[in-house]
Structure 1
Amino acid sequence: MARERRASPCCCCCCCDRHRHPALGLRLPGMMQNLYPSQEDLFYEEEILRNPYSLKLWWRYIKARSDAPAKKRHVLYERAVRALPGSYKLWHAYLKEKVDGVRGLSLEHPSYEVLNNTFERALVTMHKMPRLWIMYLQTLTQQKVLTRTRRTFDRALCALAVTQHDRIWEIYLKFVSQDGVPIETSLRVYRRFLKYDPTHVEDFIEFLQSSELWQEAAERLAKVLNDENFFSRKGKTRHELWLSLCQLLTTHTKEVSGLQVDAIIRGGIRRFTNEVGRLWTSLADYYIRCGLFEKARDVFEEGVASVVTVRDFSIVFDAYSQFEESILAAKMEQSSLENDDGQVVEEEEAELDPHRPTTFEEWIKKPFWLNEENDVDLRLARLENLMDRRPELVSSVRLRQNPHDVHEWHKRVKLFAGNPTKQVLTYTEAVRTVDAMKSVGKPHTLWVAFAKLYESHADVVNARVIFEKAVMVNYKAVDDLASVWCEWAEMELRHKNFKGALDLMQRATAEPSAAVKRKVAEIGEEPVQLKLHKSLKLWSFYVDLEESLGTLDSTRKIYERMFDLKIMTPQIVLNYAALLEEHKFFEDAFKVYERGVQVFKYPHVRLIWSMYLDKFVGRYGGKKLERARDLFEQALKEVPEADARPLYLQYAKLEEEHGLARHALAVYERATKAVPDNEKLGIYDIYIARATVFFGLPRTRQIYEHAIEAGLPDKDVKTMCIKYAELERSLGEIDRARAIYVHASQSADPRSDTEFWSKWNEFEVQHGNEDTFREMLRIKRSVSASYSQMHFILPEYLMQQGTGKVSMEEAVDALAGAGVSRDDGMAALERQMASSASEGMRSLGFVSAGVHSQGEPEAGLERGRANANDEEIGLEDDEEEEEGAGVDVAEKFVPDSVFGNLAKVRNEEDQNSKRDSAEAEPLGAKERFKRQKTVA
């Protein structure tokens, strides 16, 4: 029983031996026994007893009891840090767990005080550890204990090294930026921080602005802008900082003092010229807030008169107009309030005083306008005047951008239409400002327009003075100076001063003296005045003027002078010759043509030769034929292909009218070789037509053959063959015409050259028979097969040329290069046609070579099929229907005299055909082709 009483817990006595802990030897109260090691902790306790200063054992013990109650773990942590007070790992884990334990509790809970005491005990030995200070300071910041927190921050800064202060200052600044922290405290903290790191002055300025401390914010910002070595940590440019300062000064004018706002903003305007519009409006806004409205108006006027971009002008002008409108609205509102008090209304005053000014100029001239209290009319007139001045102000801005812009000066003059005084002043300023070497546009147009302004107001004397000054300007181009002289002469002509105009042209075209040239050579810069005597524009005007007002001799002298200066053009040569022809100096005109053709080359000489030859032939005709021929030969000697056709036709016309026909044909023949390929067909047509007229149709056969063999390009050969065949058909030479078609068929693709095959088809329908028609179809299939075979065998480079079409010669060459001969292709085609001959043929409506019974068409057809030749090429039904279905050809009697000797041969051929039909042994296709070839 005594042993049981000794083992039973006792709550009233905590110092008896019965309540001593078996492992630690401590006397424990009964309610605290669960917070200390239990039976499961004996292993860890024994190890700690053997080595109480081992961090590894304590850390293993703490990790093993991670699921124990918080109080028990805290006791374990206390024992550990008591044994190892310098262990950062134990203190950090202990404090982190205690911080997590108070999370979510009220700020007045006692646990916070316990936590703070634990931090204080930890920092006794861990005062060099910034992480523990940061945890402590963050906890104090959450507790809203301002004084204790501030002092703890100061202690941390004192305890830690300077290299670790940035970690403390980061949360220190967040702390002083919270609501409830006194402004003075925050300012002192920020000032201390700037001593540590001055580069964060922008944060301090933002804090000052958020705290509405405008005076110190402006001073700090001005100090930053004065520091040339300042670098913004937030990436702001100096221009943005200037705009911030200007906005701060103008927005909080009354709160900021001691700074020269006008000087600061004007310094920014001088320094930052890319966007001065906002700075000007900021300066004006500063004076507006100060109540100095007239000073603000002066600033606006200065701004619109000094900005150099339209964008800045728009900003300043819009602010200016809004300012005037707001002043006018405020004045009108004040006037309405005064009218309610019984004063006279504005309309009644206007009725009583009819001399009251209504425009801005009248208000300025009125001597007593400053003494009037009701100046609504003045302000309204001022606003209207501002709006009317906008185009002029915009023009000034553009001229400030480029004062050498000639077009903009002309536009500015048009703005003052109806005001000659301002126009004269504008032109005067323009000609003084514009530099001819830097100008954009033609600077001489300013002088000309200036002189015309005086001329339009009947002041010719001053206009001459302007022109006199204009011709002394050193322009970039000689043509500009020549234009001034021409305009001056035209003005004299408009005022009937013809002698003065001629004198001006003579003065302008005079060659500078040798002394002047030497003087200019010494200077090294040659003005355009020394080159004026070679101006083509000036001489052209001079010669036209002399031709109209002077004599023939004076005009000829000018033309000769132009020849000497080598400033002639083909048109001037033609004009000179026409002038001499008009006065009956034909030989002199021809000499001018001769000089022209010696000076110029093709293509410029083409017009001179054409006019020269035309005039010479028209003048002499056949009288000087040899000389004319020499001229034509000289003209054709160097003529290019593109210009050869008209000269050859003109030459041939001369021979036809005044020479020999054979000479004319010889010229045509030369022309067929000299003209380009695309014009040869037309020349051959003319050649054949003229040969027909002179020597008859038989003479043209030679021309046709020459054109087909070597004269024309491949694309025109078929056209010439068709014409040649038509000629032979008209002469009754049917076989010759058929042979021509056969010759041309080798280069006519049936898929593309449908015109040729339709012509041949019509020819065979009219003049052929069944055999010739079959032969035409056989040739057509043969050519089509050859082109189809070439389509698959041709090299790729030939198929890609143009539209993929190639000539027969190119195709044959390509097939030969590929190892395929033309004879092999034709033989294969004939074998294919022969295999289908047994299927029979359908009648095409021709008169058969054999005799068939009228009453037994079917029997005759069967007999014809039975007696068919095995070697004859059979026609497919679908092709026969396509080529000759529904075609009925009737023979017509032609006299034998037309055919001549061929009639006898034709009769023999018909007899042979009838005999062959009767014997049922028709000739094969090859033998029939040989017979036709022999007859042809």
Structure 2
Amino acid sequence: MVVSNSNETRFLIENDEDIAFEEDILRNAFSVKHWLRFVEHKKNAKCTSQAINMVYERALRELPGSYKLWKSYLDFRREQVKTLSIVSKEYKDVNNCFERALVFMHKMPRIWLDYCQFLMNQMLITKTRRTFDRCLQSLPITQHNRIWPLYLQFVKMHNIPQTAIRVYKRYLKLQPEDAEDLIDYLFSIGNLNDAAIKLAEIVNKEDFLSKEGKSKHQLWTELCDLISKNPDKVHSLKVDAIIREGIKRYTGQQGKLWNSLAEYYTRSGLFEKARDIYEEALISVMTIRDFSQVFDAYAQSEEKFINAKMQIQNLTEDDDIELELRLARYEDLIERRPLLLNSVALRQNPHNVDEWLKRIDLLEGKPLEIINTFTEAVQTVDSKQAIGKPHTLWVNFAKFYERNDQLEDARMIFEKAIEAPFARVEDLASVWCEWAEMELRNNSYKEALKVMQRAVTPPAKKASYFDEKEAVQFRVYKSLKVWSMYADLEESFGTFKSAKAVYDRIIELRIATPQIIINFGMFLEENNYFEEAFKAYEKGISLFKWPNVFDIWLTYLKKFLQRYNGSKLERARDLFEQCLEQCPPEYAKPFYFLFAQLEEEYGLAKHAMAIYDRATTAVREEDRYEMFNIYIKKAAEIFGVTYTRQIYEKAIDILPDDQAREMYLKFADLECKLGEIDRARAIYAHCSQICDPRTQLQFWNIWKEFEIKHGNEDTIREMLRIKRSLQATFNTQVNFMSAQMMAAANAGEKPQNSMEMVEDVVSTAQKPEKRLEVKEKKDIRFVKGSTEDEQVGERINNPDEINIDDEESSDEEEDGIDKDMESVRKPSKNISLERNVVPKEVFGGLKQDEDSD
């Protein structure tokens, strides 16, 4: 019941509606929902804040552990003081209310966050810091991540660097990956020493992952820039050790790190130390890019020092001396650049022979340094890893002593060189040959021979020439280069017997080449040992196969013919037959020419013709046309032009169409010159079978001119008839091919390959399909196989009805006939029709008449 005389009750019950809520509260004193409903009623009734606060206080006395009541109450109290001054008494009351709430809500992070934010708004630094500390002590560690962002925000709001640093260090124990935030803060307050220390710590941590996605190299770069550019502010780190560690770790950025170290000493005022760093860097970097970075920075540093000195107005004597010294240093630096750059290349690959030789060229005029460089080079370069020719180092080393007239020292170098562990036999062989050439240059011929004798002497332990596991010193005695040099020396300064023994030894070791065999033969010929030379050639022939033996055979046969001419004809024939027995077609042509020439000059003409005849089928297809022309020319010179008829026939059968046409025309021209007009006409008729009138216009013009000159009206019309017949045949075959392709496409079948169809048509067109037979005058028949249509066949079967006017011809051809016939002489009376038509056998039956023979 509500006590009416109670001051508190009178105060709370302001209207009749409150009675219902009071009675509800009395019945449900421990229900949060009912209390909040009562508070909401008070707010809607626009009661005073004091009245609403009293309801909250009564509710919290009943339910002190309700988070919902406390949160609503505290939010309401903060809202009440929002417009008031932060120094007013009401703020303290709210603070006390938060403190009372935390007695029960000390495990609720939201209450703590609201309280800390409220204190931050009041600018109570110490109280806020302590409250944050209490918060972190009260809450479990799993909820600290909700508190720290606000805590860090608080310490950065005020100028309390020491406190902020301590707070950050505590925070990093929970979140070490956020160390970069502390570094950024230290940068912002100008505490570069601590920033460098912290940056060095995270750089040294192998498992550190940058929250900003920076790599270890980027962190190293930031650290080096920081400590090198601020030597007066960073004093807790060993800068030299840190940067050198970075140089060892990050070899790809050595140039930049070296420059950072030199800049540190430059900014510290230690200029000589900075110069030493630059010099050390130039002899340490491994890449051209790093070298360029260091060299450019070094040169710019020296230029700045020189400019600074020159700007001083009143220079003392010491200043002048120092300026001259700096200028000399700068000039020396520029002059040393090629040598320093060469050192970089050698550090990249100490087995690069070319770079060592370049270095020696750069040291020209400094003999002591050259000797030291040669010594270092031959000791450093590994033949198995060498780029270039490692033996050139030894050879140039010896030549250096030779140029300075120190032959004994040069020989000593060669003695050491022949014991060097070369990877290839060719390298050691080159050393032996260079040694011999040095002796020759100094007129020590006997010494040169002794050197080569040592080189070719078999070792006590013999090894296979191709066994790379064995040392090259055991295999060099089979080197062709060494033996070739030795053979040349024996030819020049030795005896005939010793030189011949060298060549025999080369052949015995089976290391000879065709050129060695040829040289051996020429050497024996120069000393008039011709049969020995021929035996040498035969040994070479037995050693090699085609095509390597080509040069040996060619030289052998030429030398044999030059020596004996025709005195040993049968032996020469045997040699040629032996050569041509296995000779490939592409190499046979010169041998057939030599063989035929031999028979022409010393043998029988019949044999020569037989050789030419063999050659026409034994040589390459590309050479057969040329061979037939030579054959025809030789046959005409020896046996007369009538002998060439059978050669022409063979050529036409063998040669392809393009070349066969040329033979047809030459054959026809020959018959014309012999006065055999009918034979010539038969040749033209046979040739027409492979001459499409649409493409081979030249042939038809030639035949037309021939008929105008030697024929009559009948022969010209016969030529035109053949032309039209062939043109129709070619058109029919091409149209048939097109129709076949279209039919296959319409039927959905795979069409025949177009090139195959064209080849079939051409091959069909090229085959002569008809032959004419002459019985009596004007009796012309088609032999079996004719392709003429029925109408033409009927006219042929009834020769009396054949009339020139009945022949079909184009207007152009008729006009041409009318013009050309004016110049055609009429045939004489004793010339029968048989002389004006194609003979019985068009071409295959062409034979020489017994009378003409």
TM-score tier after normalising by the smaller chain length: 0.7 to 0.9
Pairing partner for 1:215 from 187, 193, 215: 193
Give the corresponding residue for 1:165: 144
After superposing the two structures, state which structure 1 stretch, 267-276 or 637-646, moved more.
267-276
Which of 665, 670, 678 in structure 2 is aligned with 1:722? 665
Retained in 2: the 8 A contact 1:74–1:94? no
CA drift at 1:479: 1.7
Give the structure 2 partner of residue 498 of structure 1: 445
Structure 2 counterpart of 1:213, one-letter code: N
- Cα displacement string for residues 625-681 of structure 1 (whole angstroms, at most 9, x for unaligned residues): 211111111001111111112212222222222222222222222222222222222
Match of 2:625 among 660, 676, 681: 681
Structure 1 position 268, deviation (Å): 3.2
Q: Which residue of 2 aligns with 1:362?
A: none
Which AA in structure 2 matches 1:162? I
- Does the Cα contact within 8 Å between 1:324 and 1:383 map onto a contact in 2? yes
Q: Name stretches of at least 5 consecutive residues in structure 2 with no aligned partner.
A: 1-7, 745-749, 767-784, 794-801, 847-853
Equivalent of 1:154 in 111, 133, 138:
133
Aligned equivalent of 1:556, options 500, 522, 526: 500
1:177 aligned counterpart, secondary structure: helix
The corresponding residue for 1:406 is: 353
| Displacement of 1:754 | 4.3
Matched, 1:440 2:387: yes
Change (3 A) 1:797 1:542: farther
User: Using a 3 Å threshold, how does the CA distance of structure 1 residues 373 and 777 change in structure 2: closer, same or farther?
Assistant: closer
**Separation in structure 2 between the aligned mates of residue 476 and residue 887 of structure 1, nearest angstrom:** 87
State how 1:447-846 maps to structure 2 within 5 Å.
447-512=394-459, 514=460, 516-517=461-462, 526-709=470-653, 711-766=654-709, 767=711, 768-791=715-738, 793=740, 799=753, 801=755, 806=759, 808=761
Kept in 2, the 8 Å contact 1:268–1:279? The answer is yes
SS of the residue corresponding to residue 375 of structure 1 reads: helix
Q: Give the aligned residue type for 1:417.
A: E
Output the CA distance in 2 between the equivalents of 1:283 and 1:47.
82
Equivalent pair of 1:409/1:430 in contact (CA under 8 Å):
yes
Distance 2:58 2:728 in 1: 118
What is the identity, as a one-letter code, of the residue corresponding to 1:905? L
- How many Å separate the matches in 1 of 2:841 and 2:250? 104
Quote the Cα distance in structure 2 between the aligned partners of 1:203 and 1:503.
Answer: 82
For 2:685 and 2:38, the matched residues in 1 are separated by 118
Taking the TM superposition and a 5 Å limit, the aligned residue runs for 1:149-298 are 149-178=128-157, 180-298=158-276
- Matched to 1:264, the amino acid is I
- Given candidates 832, 836, 842, the residue that maps to 1:904 is 832
CA distances 1:97-152 after superposition (whole Å, capped 9, x unpaired) = 99999999998999999998887787676554445554665566566554454344
Distance 1:621 1:437 in 2: 56
Amino acid at match of 2:247: I
Which residue matches 1:837?
none
In structure 2, what is the equivalent of residue 308 of structure 1?
A: 286
Moved more, 428-437 or 257-266: 257-266
SS, match of residue 382 in structure 2: coil
Please give the alpha-carbon distance, in whole angstroms, between the structure 2 residues aligned to 1:398 and 1:773: 84
One-letter amino acid of the structure 2 residue matched with residue 197 of structure 1: Q
Report the Cα distance in structure 1 between the residues aligned to 2:809 and 2:350, rounded to whole angstroms: 90
Other-structure match for 1:22: 16
Q: Is the 8 A contact 1:307 1:397 kept in 2?
A: yes
Report the Cα offset of residue 184 of structure 1: 1.9
1:431 aligns with 2:383: no
Q: Deviations over 1:694-730 (max 9, x none)?
A: 3333333323333333x23455433333333333444
1:692 and 1:183, CA in 2 relative to 1: closer, same or farther beyond 3 A?
same
Instruction: Provide closer, same or farther for how the CA distance between residues 116 and 770 of structure 1 changes in structure 2, counting only shifts above 3 A.
Output: farther
Name whichever of 460-469 and 95-104 sits farther off. 95-104
CA distance in 2: counterparts of 1:47 and 1:402, whole angstroms? 96
Amino acid at match of 2:567: K
Query: Which residue in 2 is equivalent to 1:842?
Result: none
Confirm or deny: 8 A CA contact 2:456 2:476 kept in the other structure.
Answer: yes
Ranges in structure 1 where 5+ consecutive residues have no aligned partner: 1-13, 27-43, 347-370, 814-824, 835-848, 851-863, 910-927
- For residues 103 and 669 of structure 1, the distance between their equivalents in structure 2, rounded to whole angstroms, comes to 126
Q: Which has the higher contact order (CA 8 A, sep 6+)?
A: 2
Instruction: Name the aligned partner's letter for residue 220 of structure 1.
Output: K
CA distance in 2, matches of 1:642, 1:60: 116
Closer/same/farther in 2, CA of residues 637 and 224 from structure 1, 3 Å limit = same
Pick closer, same or farther for the CA change 1:497–1:89 going to 2, 3 Å.
same
Distance in 2 (CA, whole Å) between partners of 1:572 and 1:93 is: 112
The DSSP-based 3-state class of the residue aligned with 2:252 is coil
- Shift in Å at residue 733 of structure 1? 4.3
Q: The residue matched to 2:820 in structure 1 has which SS? A: coil
Q: TM-score, normalised by structure 1?
A: 0.74
2:288 maps to amino acid: V
Pair 1:888 & 2:820 matched: yes
Residues 811 and 213 (structure 1 numbering): CA distance in 2 closer, same or farther, change over 3 Å? Answer: farther
% same residue: 46
Q: How far apart, CA to CA, are the structure 2 residues paired with 1:453 and 1:319? A: 38
Contact kept? 1:81, 1:90, Cα under 8 Å? no
Deviations, residues 544-586 of structure 1 (Å, cap 9, x unaligned):
2222223322222221121112221111211221222223222
Q: Residues 575-629 of structure 1, C-alpha deviation per residue, up to 9 Å, x if partnerless?
A: 2212222232222221111111111111111111112112222322222221111
Q: In 1, Cα distance between the equivalents of 2:305 and 2:835?
A: 122
Over residues 361-404 of structure 1, what are the superposed CA-to-partner deviations in whole Å (9 max), with x where a residue is unaligned? xxxxxxxxxx8785211122122212221211111122122111
Contact preservation (8 Å) 1:645, 1:675: yes
User: Distance in 1 between the 2:687 and 2:223 partners?
Assistant: 95
Aligned CA RMSD, in angstroms, stands at: 4.7
Query: Given that residues 81 and 90 in structure 2 are in contact (C-alpha distance below 8 angstroms), is that contact kept between their aligned partners in structure 1?
Result: yes
Q: What is the alpha-carbon distance in structure 2 between the residues aligned to residue 294 and residue 908 of structure 1?
A: 116
TM-score, length basis structure 2 = 0.80
Would you say the 8 A contact 2:689–2:765 is kept in 1? no
One-letter identity of the residue aligned with 1:23: E
Cα distance between partner residues in 1 of 2:616 and 2:50: 121
Q: Following the alignment from structure 2 to structure 1, what is the Cα–Cα distance between the partners of residues 80 and 458? A: 110
Pair 1:798–1:601, CA change in 2 (3 A): farther
Equivalent residue for 1:351?
none
